[in-house]
Amino acid sequence: MSGGPGGTARGTVPGLATPHPLGAALPAVYAEDDFGQRFTAGLDVVLAPLFNVLDSLEAYFSPALAPDDFVDYLATWVGAELEGTESLALRRRAVASAVALHRVRGTRQGLAAAVRLAFGVPPEITESGGAAWSARPLGPFPGTPAAGLHVVLRVADPASVDPHRLHAVVGAARPAHLPFTTAVTLPRTPDSPTSEGARPHE
């Protein structure tokens, strides 16, 4: 069906025929009644889009096929992390991958996937935790004593990335208890310091 102003309202579709015209279902006495046929034809115009939706209902629940405005409804149903300004293609990908991301939410894999989905670039993730094994008891603990997480996004134009958006994405996908910082910076080069061009956000 067609969307109205703003893409959120739905209405009639010019020229769309109904597969079940009401006039043909009237008793025989009304078959040639001009008023009755014209009255039911007006109802057919209203009902035709409903039949069209029911006939293609499965497509409405497919992120790749759903109408543009219905993708936003699907995003709320599956809990996709969207700001509302993303492109349609990105919103469709976010809905399609939401369930898989929920399964790994709070993990390094899930955090990396969420940032890559939002910005199209894999992040650099530094975390305080660690794992190790030892054949002897009383070995040193892995990781660092102070819990923390640092996420760096390296892009050719750091000014084109909203650091607040990165901070929000990381905040939603990180382990809930873990303090974190984020930064947007230039791609790493062999002769440049790691902090060159960084735009940190805490």
Q: Could you list the pLDDT tens digit for every one of the 202 residues in the chain?
A: 444 334 455 666 777 778 888 888 888 887 888 888 888 888 888 888 788 778 888 888 899 988 888 898 898 888 887 777 788 888 898 999 888 888 998 889 999 999 999 888 999 999 888 888 888 888 888 888 888 899 999 999 999 888 998 998 899 889 888 899 999 999 887 665 544 445 556 5
With contact defined as beta carbons under 8 Å apart, do 185 and 157 qualify? no
Main-chain dihedrals φ then ψ at residue 150, nearest 5 degrees: -130, 125
Copy the structure tokens of residue 129: 């935790």
170 burial level (CB within 10 Å; 0-12, 13-18, 19+): buried
Q: Please check whether residue 86 is in contact with residue 53, taking contact to mean a CB–CB distance below 8 angstroms.
A: no
Look up residue 60 and give its two tokens.
């409405």
